[in-house]
Amino acid sequence: MTQALRLGIAGLGTVGVGVVKIVRRHADLLQARTGRPVQITAVSARDANKDRGVNLSDYAWETDPVSLAKRDDVDVFVELMGGENGPAKASVEAALASGKDVVTANKALLAIHGQELAEKAEAAGRVIRFEAAVAGGIPVIKSLTEGLAGNEITRVMGVMNGTCNYILTRMQSQELGYNALFEECAQLGYLEADPNLDVGGIDAAHKLALLSSIAFGTKPNFNGIEIEGIQQISLDDIHQAHDMGYRIKLLGVAQRTARGLEQRMQPCLVPSDSPLGQLEGGTNMVVLDGDAVEQIVLRGPGAGEGPTASAVMGDVCDLARGLHIPTFGRPAASLEEAKPAVTGLPAPYYLRLGLQDKPGALAKVASILGDAGVSIDRMRQYGHAESTAPVLIVTHKTTRATLDVALEGLRDTDVIAGEPVALRIEEV
């Protein structure tokens, strides 16, 4: 009989329990598909007595994940604890040093330490697989490293945080403001322990850093990503975008330009009739542009027990079959330093301003924009009952750097109330 592939699972939260369920429920199916049994031999979590709704009595228990990573009866270390440092990093390093492959769902760990860990894995003749770290059940890592390996990737774009998409789509469908939906997400358990990881765009930016590395052959460069969350988005923005034929999404974009590697995670307007514009609720979507394939769209659940555990097991099955691919799709030593773009590609922008109800105020705004080199495509002033009038401006294509100069000029005047809102209009 072919020797079993033995798993050690560190972290028995939602995803870890989901992996245990799949291994127990589909033992025969996994063996048929990989040609060998897949078994769990040991597990680790903080509380051994917690009822997790699944039988763990057949497995050895380790309170220390590093000890689990070093066990002789573990072939693949499955890290599902999370966190960019601490036990997660220490146990992954211990597993690699002990000659074990690693499967992880830890986007923060790899976005920050991915290059270092990839080099350690290759030096040890091991691999790190992380399909579950990006977009839940969507097989986007496998698509980039395998299915699209014959393409030069020109752009990676997508909605990669289900919580943000849930909030933005509910704002439109339920006429609820951001604060009310933030509280709803907290009650439903949709938010990370640090909510800013979700609504501040950090969680999604971790994912973009990993996709960008694979797509463009660069070292993961999380610090090179321009990050902006959704906290500033109002119902007025949702309505006005809809009136113009757009939806607002927290959109990640990575593309190589003549100016360098452009990486952005920010709220953008996208056409309502585009696949991204039609994306509802907590679903994720990743759009990949390649020179041969042109464009493919991957859509599916971005989180949850089943989808994420499914992605973990996809990696486990590949290891059981003997498939070993470098962590970021090519040898770590060949990855280039990412040269961040000094300024992004030009695009039209949506501006929302609170204009003081003073003679000549609108003319002053137009003059400041023009002096900075920002051309107005269309402008709309809404009715108001107070001293501040909401004004909507759509610009012709401009760079964010140019727009920032104009915004600074607007802030220095006495005709603007509050902070201007500027959102890129993305071509998809």
Give per-residue pLDDT as tens, 329-357.
Answer: 999 999 999 888 877 889 999 999 988 87
Q: Is the pLDDT of residue 175 over 60?
A: yes
Mean pLDDT of 207-231: 96
Domain 140-301 coded CATH 3.30.360.10:
yes
Would you call 163 helix, strand, or coil by DSSP?
Answer: helix
Give per-residue pLDDT as tens, 315-333.
Answer: 999 999 999 999 999 999 9
- Angle (nearest 5°) at CA 210 between 68 and 329: 85
Would you call 234 helix, strand, or coil by DSSP?
Answer: coil
**What is the identity of the amino acid at 184?**
E
- Starting from the edge strand earliest in sequence, which strands make up the sheet with 101-104, in order? 60-62, 38-44, 5-10, 76-79, 101-104, 128-129
Q: Which of 6, 37, 54 is nearest to 305 (CA)?
A: 54
Q: Is the pLDDT of residue 214 over 80?
A: yes
* Residue 417: per-residue pLDDT: 85
Give per-residue pLDDT as tens, 238-266.
Answer: 998 998 899 999 999 999 988 889 999 99
Count CB-CB contacts under 10 A for residue 399: 18
Catalytic residues: 207
Backbone angles phi, psi at 256, to 5 degrees: -85, 130
Q: Which of 343, 143, 153, 203 is nearest to 263 (CA)?
A: 343
* Residue 395: per-residue pLDDT: 95
Hey, what CATH topology would domain 5-133 get? Rossmann fold (3.40.50)
Question: What is the average pLDDT score of the chain?
Answer: 93
* Residue 48: per-residue pLDDT: 86
CA separation for the pair 59, 42 (Å, rounded): 5
Which percentage of the chain shows pLDDT scores above 70? 99
Q: Which of 82, 87, 89 is nearest to 113 (CA)?
A: 89
* Residue 383: per-residue pLDDT: 67
Give per-residue pLDDT as tens, 221-237.
Answer: 999 999 999 999 999 89
Every domain of the chain and the residues it spans: 5-133, 140-301, 349-425
Q: Is the pLDDT of residue 385 over 70?
A: no
Q: Is the pLDDT of residue 384 over 70?
A: no
Q: Is the pLDDT of residue 1 over 60?
A: no
- Angle (nearest 5°) at CA 16 between 13 and 20: 130
Pick the CATH number of 349-425 from 3.30.70.260, 2.40.50.140, 3.50.50.60, 3.40.50.720: 3.30.70.260
Known binding residue 21? Answer is no
Known binding residue 192? Answer is yes
